[in-house]
Chain A
Amino acid sequence: MEKAFKRKQKGNLARAFYRFKKNPLSLIGLGIILMMASMAIFAPFIALYPEDAGGAVHFKKMFQPPSWKHPFGTDEVGRDAFSRVIFGSRISLMLGVVVLSVAVLIGVPLGLFAGYFGGKVETIIMRITDIFLAIPPLVLALAVTAVLERNLQNSMFAIAFTWWPWYARLVYGETLSKKEEDFVEVSESLGASRLYIIFREILPNMTSPLLVKITLDMGYAILVGAALGFLGLGAQPPTAEWGTLVSLGRIHLPKMWWLSTFSGLAIFITVLGFNLLGDGLRDFFDVEVE
């Protein structure tokens, strides 16, 4: 019987992959994400001038337009813009991963507790969540960075701080419907502990909406992170962060158009990749996530 079950599972996986393959857009999205991830991992080998990612200075070759030697041109102190964009992928992807890990680690348990226990726990957790949701995320993140020192870690913290309530609310809603189902009642009558039911019975049943939301949010978190960087509230120069690069390049517009253009394009393509994949996953799991 175990064998039959395994075969069936394999059949499901194959069918799932077939369905996934039928949507070329999500495959493109996956391709983009894999490309960006390998760019981030192998940055020192892809970048033509790895030392330019930091505060190197080559005054002899400043403000060169794109050429074969410098595909994206050079900046105000002669650093290779291409290398800086490549290294920027590390920061943006890390920011996305860190922000969402924190948001999920805080939001998911809170949502589960609020939904499962109900009563006072629910009131306290969900009202706090409502307060956070009453202020647009980017505004709240800005307000948080105002009290902190301006650097990359703090901007990640600020974004994560505004992000967890969305997960609390999503998980809360899912928990409310899941806890009425038979399998929960069965484990309750078998004497399973509450924590066991919450984390081993209810949580695994909401993996697909969570996965879809995390994928879509990776893109949005990267956008917000880049926006903070652009406003000068995130990573500080000379760190090569995409939003910061756009903002630094803007000073030299319109003549040195290449500085802002390519780093912005990198943000766009990365976010597009996560959106395409997230949308494909949503169709694939057939779930509704706001």
Chain B
Amino acid sequence: MSLVTKRDVSKDLIQRLPATLELVVAAMAIAVLAGIPLGVLSALHKDRTIDQLSRIFAFAGVSLPRFWIGIMFQIAFAYSLGLLPITGRITGDPPAHITGLYLLDSLLTRDFPAFMDSFKHILLPSITLSLSPLAQITRLIRASMIEQLRKDYTVVSRIIGMPENLNIYKYMLKNAFTATLTVIGLLFGWMIGNAFVVEQVFSWPGMARYGVNSVLRNDFNAVVGVTLVIGVGYVLINFIVDLLYGYLDPRIRLKK
């Protein structure tokens, strides 16, 4: 029982969990989808302009206070240019409830205006949350790709004239990704932590915001609930990551 809302903490949490989940997954998708090509590009152009730019970007990415860059985004894209909404998840009513993830729900019900609307809403918070993981993934992919570039199999496949793109994306990247995978598991934890701040900035109605408000109102039962859910979720994600190793690296799968 929450001491403030007088409802079951578990009910409050289930209601808000999808919002946080959607935000964190969207942010991780941005970080991975942008981080991999950036890292590969930096590795292929080591110490040239692209690499230097991505290095500067990486330093900035990990050093920026999340709440501050979120506010700067709000000022730039929402207030000044008026391109994107400032806060919240959606204007008007949410799409029919299936999973609670607005992006997915609106697609399932083919409610495209709602999809576009929630897409616009999630853009700024998820980019804000993704910056630091994006920077870290870029650096890691770069480091492991440089290592792979020196390996014998890379040299051989170049000599026998395998198309460079096939070589990079099918063989080298798969080998380079293992190290990054560990970090992605850890970064999920980082993201959940920082979701507390980002949700506050963008008034995102998620579990993390609920957590912050519970702390501020000394609603101890709710705080314990939030911490517990996050702890379990974090352990689960790292378990999934461990399973994924087997897929990427047969040596782990086949070891008895």
Binding site for B on A (CB under 8 A): 25, 134-140, 142-143, 145-147, 219, 223, 226-227, 230-233, 243, 246-247, 250, 253-254, 257, 260-261, 264-265, 267-268, 271-272, 275-276, 279
**Which A residues lie within 8 Å of B215 (CB)?**
142-143, 145-146, 231, 233
The listed residue (B65, B200, B223) touching A271 by CB distance below 8 A is B65
26 CB < 8 A contacts A-B: A25-B59, A135-B230, A136-B190, A136-B193, A136-B234, A138-B194, A138-B196, A139-B193, A139-B226, A143-B215, A143-B226, A145-B215, A219-B63, A223-B65, A231-B216, A243-B67, A246-B71, A254-B75, A264-B67, A264-B71, A267-B68, A268-B63, A268-B65, A271-B62, A271-B63, A272-B59
Identify whether the interface residues of B are mostly helix, strand, loop, or mixed: helix
B72 in the interface, Cβ–Cβ < 8 Å? yes
CA distance A226 to B231 in the complex (A): 23
CA distance A131 to B79 in the complex (A): 43
CB pair A275–B59 under 8 Å, yes or no, is yes
CB pair B75–A227 under 8 Å, yes or no, is no
Given contacts A134-B235, A135-B230, are A257 and B67 in contact (CB under 8 A)? no
Task: List 8 A-B pairs, minimum CB-CB distance, nearest first.
Answer: A264-B68, A138-B193, A136-B193, A136-B189, A254-B79, A272-B63, A271-B63, A146-B215
Whole-angstrom distance from the CB of B219 to the nearest CB of chain A? 8
CB pair A230–B214 under 8 Å, yes or no, is no
Identify whether the interface residues of A are mostly helix, strand, loop, or mixed: helix
**Which A residues lie within 8 Å of B190 (CB)?**
136
B177 in the interface, Cβ–Cβ < 8 Å? no
CB pair A246–B67 under 8 Å, yes or no, is yes
In the complex, residue of chain A having the shortest beta-carbon distance to the beta carbon of B215: A146
List B residues 38-68 near A (Cβ within 8 Å): 59-60, 62-68
Contact string against A for B residues 55-91, beta-carbon threshold 8 Å, 1 for contact and 0 otherwise: 0000110111111110110110001100000000000
CB pair B64–A268 under 8 Å, yes or no, is yes
Binding site for A on B (CB under 8 A): 59-60, 62-69, 71-72, 74-75, 79-80, 189-190, 192-194, 196-197, 200-201, 211-212, 214-216, 218, 220, 223-224, 226-227, 230-231, 234-235
The listed residue (A223, A231, A261, A271) touching B212 by CB distance below 8 A is A231
CB pair B214–A135 under 8 Å, yes or no, is no
In the complex, residue of chain B having the shortest beta-carbon distance to the beta carbon of A261: B72
The listed residue (B71, B196, B220) touching A250 by CB distance below 8 A is B71
CA distance A135 to B224 in the complex (A): 12
CB pair A146–B218 under 8 Å, yes or no, is yes
The listed residue (B62, B65, B80) touching A243 by CB distance below 8 A is B65
CA distance A41 to B200 in the complex (A): 33
Whole-angstrom distance from the CB of B88 to the nearest CB of chain A? 16
Whole-angstrom distance from the CB of A225 to the nearest CB of chain B? 10
In the complex, residue of chain A having the shortest beta-carbon distance to the beta carbon of B197: A227
**Which A residues lie within 8 Å of B234 (CB)?**
134-136
CB pair A142–B71 under 8 Å, yes or no, is no
CA distance A137 to B231 in the complex (A): 11
**Which B residues lie within 8 Å of A143 (CB)?**
215, 223-224, 226-227
CA distance A276 to B69 in the complex (A): 19
CB pair B197–A232 under 8 Å, yes or no, is no
CB pair B216–A233 under 8 Å, yes or no, is yes
In the complex, residue of chain B having the shortest beta-carbon distance to the beta carbon of A29: B59
Whole-angstrom distance from the CB of B233 to the nearest CB of chain A? 10
CB pair A227–B67 under 8 Å, yes or no, is yes
Whole-angstrom distance from the CB of B158 to the nearest CB of chain A? 29
**Which B residues lie within 8 Å of A253 (CB)?**
71, 74-75, 79
Whole-angstrom distance from the CB of B33 to the nearest CB of chain A? 23
CB pair A147–B220 under 8 Å, yes or no, is yes
**Which B residues lie within 8 Å of A260 (CB)?**
68, 71
Given contacts A134-B234, A140-B227, A142-B212, are A231 and B196 in contact (CB under 8 A)? yes
In the complex, residue of chain B having the shortest beta-carbon distance to the beta carbon of A246: B68
CA distance A276 to B194 in the complex (A): 22
CA distance A223 to B66 in the complex (A): 9
Whole-angstrom distance from the CB of B93 to the nearest CB of chain A? 28
For B190, B220, B224, B227, which residue has the most chain A Cβ atoms within 10 angstroms?
A: B227
**Which A residues lie within 8 Å of B226 (CB)?**
139, 143
CA distance A134 to B236 in the complex (A): 10
**Which B residues lie within 8 Å of A254 (CB)?**
74-75, 79-80
**Which A residues lie within 8 Å of B218 (CB)?**
146
In the complex, residue of chain B having the shortest beta-carbon distance to the beta carbon of A162: B193
